[in-house]
A and B are shown apart, each in its own frame.
Chain A
Amino acid sequence: MKIPDNFLYYLSLHEDCNERLLARAEHLRTEDVEVCISPEVVRIKKMVYAVMGETHRMKAFVRLQPLRTKVLYGFLRPRHRIGEHICDHFARRNAGIIVVLGNASESWISLCRDGRIWRDHGRGLYESLEKLKRTLHESLHEREKETDLPVQDVEVLWQIYYDSQYCPERKNLAAFHRQMPRKDQDSAGLRMVQNKKNATLEDFLSD
């Protein structure tokens, strides 16, 4: 990974970052962070990498489910303050759809429309989804779809496909664990879903 020019942004999202550290990092150029070996700069570099790493893995591991026709939602409990950033990413990918990510205690809501992003930051995921359900004036026809959404189907499709890709003669668990660290799977609620194929919304919300 290369240190990006906007490394201060990533640094500011780190769980241990504070105003003081940001102020001290402000005068650094990208190249300084890449090359300097002073303990403080090395620490800043590691913090930037930690946030970039988690950001990348959340874009990869968070799974989305549709709620009726206007909403996609998923579980997210990141270590760093990247909830909004990840939510925006999925909103851009699904323009016109409200993306809600979160966990039992907080949630992020983003909508991308006409190239712009609108956001809200709410309490628990469940609460935000309930509020959206009440607010969205969807037709009766659309509401009926709520009960027969293909959520499980997609998960089942995925599981069959995923299993088909495994080559037993190449088994390499060390590589698997290196690529899918447990902490990142936890942040994206991934293991939970794989263990419980029939995970429901409520499973995401019990801590």
Chain B
Amino acid sequence: MPMVTLEKIAHLAEECRFDSLGQAQSLAMVDVDAKKLRTLGEGTRHDVCASTFSPREEPLLGICHAFTQDGRCVSLFKTLYTNHCTHQCSYCTNAANCSSKAKAFSYTPEELAKITLSLYRSNYIEGLFLSSGAGRDEGSVMEKMVETVRLLRQKFAFSGYIHLKVLPGCSQAHIQEAVELADRVSINLEAASASHMSEICATKNYESDILQRQRYIRDMKMKPVAGKVVLPAGQTTQLVVGAAGESDEEIFKRILYEYNEIGVKRAYYSAFSPQGGTPFENRKAQPLWREHRLYQMDWLYRVYHFQTDEICHAFDENGLLCNADPKMAIAVEFMDKPLDPNTAAFRELLRVPGIGPRSAQKIVAFRKRQPIVAKADLAAMGIRIKRAAPFLKINGWRDTTLEMWQD
């Protein structure tokens, strides 16, 4: 690639008549009501968007452009289209039955597209995460959300990441459009089952408004259009944890259905925290560690491919996870003798606390070249030896700190 003079570069740039900045220029001065921006932004605070990685034909990298003081990443412009809502979810400050609702705001598709473009151009964000209250009816709000995304993609040739929420109960036609335009779509389950849903929200039908819409997405034609992968980052979902008194085991059962029957790429968990003015304002906040343990459980199933009955062993008699690594509890129960990392199979290695898929791969690659003779070898590979040592046996060496092996 050539190194040229500044003058040449200036000349080459001048010859470009169509460019992304030029388009953005015409819409640069966005006059946005600060209160609206804040209120509709706050409306999505509890929504999780983990990665912006999208396996398109030319994969989009996951980049986190900033983090808030709670350590969560801000990589997308995450907002509601409107905070006006007729649903009665008892934990939500935008619900019709919340007594301390913020003033109702709404964007226009044009306005929202412009904010997204200017933040994207200055490299504050990787794209848009668009959710919404249901407005007067979910159909017309979903229509506006799809229109926003269509404007971005088609009029402004926006190539950033788009995560579009599908509103419960919206039409199949809108879902089809959403799927064709976004990198990822999702419908929030919120509850673990129909009965838990009726506990937290009287206006949503779990089966028809939510599960049925998930199946629509699953069953849509995913043939590549003009060589482009359709919905590259797939379908995901999210649950509010602990608002309806459900157990972790009930959540796990639901998640098994989601992964196996719906084919969601990931499930997200958001620990319930009571909001002033809502019917649930006096319910107990769920500890953040519960959310963390659920994610660990989720990883054991989805990434480590643990068996269902192994994972069930991590639940106590009330079906709850305790505040400890579930992998450790499972290892103590199921690993009946220490493993020799020189001979253990990949799958067996994965069951050792402190050894994940990458570490297990490294061990397998290392021992092909030379035997593992000491703990230090593992530590030098980057394995968390303190956690792993009690479950390993190398050349007769082993740590016997766990009571189960002191016979």
| A interface residue numbers (CB < 8 A to B) | 2, 31, 34-35, 37, 42, 56, 59-66, 69-72, 74, 90, 94-98, 109, 111, 113, 116-122, 128, 131-132, 135-137, 145, 148-150, 153-158, 160-176, 178-180
Tell me, rounded to whole Å, the shortest Cβ–Cβ distance linking B229 to chain A.
20
Question: In the complex, what residues of B have CB within 8 A of residue A74's CB?
Answer: 123
Q: Does B2 contact A (CB under 8 A)?
A: yes
Tell me if A111 and B122 are in contact (CB < 8 A): no
Given contacts A70-B21, A163-B38, A164-B41, contact A176 B2 (CB under 8 A): no
Q: Does B223 contact A (CB under 8 A)?
A: no
- Among the stretches B139-147, B256-264, B323-331, B362-370, the one at the interface with A is B362-370
Tell me if A97 and B69 are in contact (CB < 8 A): no
Q: How far, in whole Å, are A42 and B251 apart by their CA atoms in the complex?
A: 43
Q: How far, in whole Å, are A63 and B125 apart by their CA atoms in the complex?
A: 10
Tell me, rounded to whole Å, the shortest Cβ–Cβ distance linking B17 to chain A.
9
Question: In the complex, what residues of A have CB within 8 A of residue B12's CB?
Answer: 111, 113, 118
Question: In the complex, what residues of A have CB within 8 A of residue B273's CB?
Answer: 167, 169
Q: Do most interface residues of chain B lie in helix, strand or loop, or is the interface mixed?
A: mixed
Tell me if A118 and B20 are in contact (CB < 8 A): no
Q: Which of A59, A90, A131 contacts B6 (CB 8 A)?
A: A131
Tell me if B70 and A171 are in contact (CB < 8 A): yes
Tell me if A119 and B124 are in contact (CB < 8 A): no
Tell me if B68 and A70 are in contact (CB < 8 A): no
A–B Cβ pairs within 8 angstroms, 19 of them: A60-B63, A64-B121, A66-B21, A66-B28, A70-B14, A71-B13, A72-B21, A95-B16, A118-B2, A121-B3, A157-B32, A158-B124, A161-B77, A166-B69, A167-B45, A167-B70, A167-B72, A169-B285, A176-B69
Q: How far, in whole Å, are A63 and B65 apart by their CA atoms in the complex?
A: 9
Q: Which of A60, A118, A165, A169 contacts B9 (CB 8 A)?
A: A118
| B interface residue numbers (CB < 8 A to A) | 1-10, 12-16, 18-22, 25, 28-30, 32, 34, 37-39, 41-42, 44-46, 61, 63-74, 77-79, 115, 118-119, 121-124, 273, 285, 288, 358, 362, 365-366, 369, 377, 380-381
Tell me if B71 and A178 are in contact (CB < 8 A): yes
Tell me if A98 and B380 are in contact (CB < 8 A): no
Name the residue on A nearest B126 (C-beta). Answer: A60
Tell me, rounded to whole Å, the shortest Cβ–Cβ distance linking B282 to chain A.
16
Tell me if A31 and B70 are in contact (CB < 8 A): no
Q: Which of A62, A111, A145 contacts B13 (CB 8 A)?
A: A111
Question: In the complex, what residues of B have CB within 8 A of residue A120's CB?
Answer: 3-6, 9
Q: Which of B10, B37, B71, B121 contacts A179 (CB 8 A)?
A: B71
Question: In the complex, what residues of A have CB within 8 A of residue B288's CB?
Answer: 170
Name the residue on A nearest B27 (C-beta). Answer: A150
Tell me, rounded to whole Å, the shortest Cβ–Cβ distance linking B113 to chain A.
14
Tell me, rounded to whole Å, the shortest Cβ–Cβ distance linking B259 to chain A.
25
Tell me if B42 and A164 are in contact (CB < 8 A): yes
Tell me if B30 and A160 are in contact (CB < 8 A): no
Tell me if A96 and B21 are in contact (CB < 8 A): yes
Q: Which of B3, B18, B123, B124 contacts A90 (CB 8 A)?
A: B123
Q: How far, in whole Å, are A50 and B225 apart by their CA atoms in the complex?
A: 39
Tell me, rounded to whole Å, the shortest Cβ–Cβ distance linking B179 to chain A.
25
Given contacts A119-B2, A175-B70, contact A164 B37 (CB under 8 A): yes
Tell me if A171 and B69 are in contact (CB < 8 A): yes
Given contacts A37-B377, A70-B13, A162-B74, contact A135 B66 (CB under 8 A): no
Q: Which of A2, A35, A94, A180 contacts B121 (CB 8 A)?
A: A94
Tell me, rounded to whole Å, the shortest Cβ–Cβ distance linking A10 to chain B.
15
Given contacts A64-B122, A118-B9, A167-B46, contact A157 B67 (CB under 8 A): no
Q: How far, in whole Å, are A132 and B317 apart by their CA atoms in the complex?
A: 71
Tell me, rounded to whole Å, the shortest Cβ–Cβ distance linking A181 to chain B.
11
Tell me if B7 and A135 are in contact (CB < 8 A): yes
Tell me if A137 and B67 are in contact (CB < 8 A): no
Name the residue on A nearest B7 (C-beta). Answer: A135
Q: Which of A35, A62, A175 contacts B67 (CB 8 A)?
A: A175
Tell me if A97 and B3 are in contact (CB < 8 A): no
Question: In the complex, what residues of A have CB within 8 A of residue B22's CB?
Answer: 69, 96
Q: How far, in whole Å, are A178 and B67 apart by their CA atoms in the complex?
A: 10
Tell me if A31 and B365 are in contact (CB < 8 A): yes
Question: In the complex, what residues of A have CB within 8 A of residue B65's CB?
Answer: 60-61
